[in-house]
Amino acid sequence: MANSSDVRYASADDVLLALDKNPDSATDQLVERAEKRAAAATRTWINRTGRPFHPERVGDPDEPRSWEVHDVQDAESVQPVTVQLNNRRILPLDPEEGDELEVRTRRDTWRPITEDEGRKWTLNYRGRRLTIYRRRVKLTPFDDPNKRFMRITYRYGPLGEDVEIDEDGLVTSVPADVADAVAAKAASRLALDDELKRSRSNDGNLTDRSTKRSALTDEFEDTAAEYTGFSTI
């Protein structure tokens, strides 16, 4: 299985077709470029919309310093502590998949509570609201219990949906409009590459290529706006 940086929501063929190129006559080098641009465009889609269509991980399970960390306001209160995680559509926490939730007990000491769901914490998986039923009772001098109260590594993505990813990292279960948008974004980047290469020997077709690239970019932006709820107008 490909790693996360290779995951693509559009195939090389989709990218080439968006550029009005025949995939059957494309060179291996061009196909490879199209795949790399599709992977980069997929990353742009996720960063722009927050809507991955495969399990996307936050933080490296083997590197806690990369985890999502949150401060709170009432760590010493008897009331539950509520935290809004950075992403919605969180997949159920599963230690077997590398998911971990920890609370800080001392200045640099953390206690895992991942397996205590329902007793020490609850999570609205679709709405990202995490509630922790725990308070700091042992305080350390010069240590603010509200700072770095908890840290977490988790996955988010499609909830309750089947995800199909082939061995090369192509997610085949992506909605058609998303695949088209990612292909358009990747194609626009390929077109820009070609424009930069040919600008030195302007062959008179740069205006047409620029117009095509602009249309491809608009297609991506319009679809991304639909999935985030923000208009591009």
Per-residue pLDDT at 231 exceeds 60: no
pLDDT of 175: 96
Evaluate whether residue 135 is within a structural domain.
Answer: yes
Could you tell me if 118 and 210 lie in one domain? no
Could you tell me if 27 and 117 lie in one domain? no
Could you tell me if 14 and 94 lie in one domain? no
Classify 90 in phi/psi space as left (phi over 0), alpha (psi -120 to 50) or beta. beta
Could you tell me if 71 and 101 lie in one domain? yes
Name the phi and psi angles at 11, rounded to 5.
Answer: -85, 165
96 versus 108: which is more confidently predicted? 96
pLDDT tens by residue, 117-171: 999 999 999 889 999 997 766 667 767 888 999 999 999 999 878 899 998 999 9
Evaluate whether residue 14 is within a structural domain.
Answer: yes
Quote the distance between the C-alpha of residue 37 and its chain's center. 16
pLDDT of 119: 94
Instruction: Note down the domain range covering 14.
Output: 4-53+163-228
pLDDT of 208: 62
14 versus 74: which is more confidently predicted? 14
pLDDT tens by residue, 47-98: 999 999 999 999 999 999 999 999 998 877 778 999 999 999 999 999 999 9
Total domains present in the chain: 2
The Cα-based distances of 49 to 56, 123, 144 in angstroms read 13, 22, 35
pLDDT tens by residue, 206-228: 556 678 888 999 999 999 999 98
Evaluate whether residue 233 is within a structural domain.
Answer: no
State how far the Cα of 228 lies from the Cα of 226, in Å rounded to an integer: 6
Per-residue pLDDT at 193 exceeds 70: no
Could you tell me if 72 and 145 lie in one domain? yes
Specify the CATH number for the domain of residue 98. 2.60.40
Could you tell me if 69 and 133 lie in one domain? yes
Q: Which of 102-106, 111-115, 205-209 has the lowest mean pLDDT?
A: 205-209
47 versus 199: which is more confidently predicted? 47
Evaluate whether residue 203 is within a structural domain.
Answer: yes
pLDDT of 1: 46
Could you tell me if 187 and 205 lie in one domain? yes
Could you tell me if 76 and 144 lie in one domain? yes
Domain boundary among 131, 156, 181: 156
Evaluate whether residue 221 is within a structural domain.
Answer: yes
Could you tell me if 80 and 172 lie in one domain? no
What's the average model confidence in pLDDT over 27-32? 94
Contact criterion met (CB below 8 Å) for 222 and 233: no
Could you tell me if 177 and 128 lie in one domain? no
Domain boundary among 137, 156, 175: 156
pLDDT of 130: 97
Could you tell me if 15 and 70 lie in one domain? no
Domain boundary among 140, 156, 172: 156
Could you tell me if 177 and 224 lie in one domain? yes
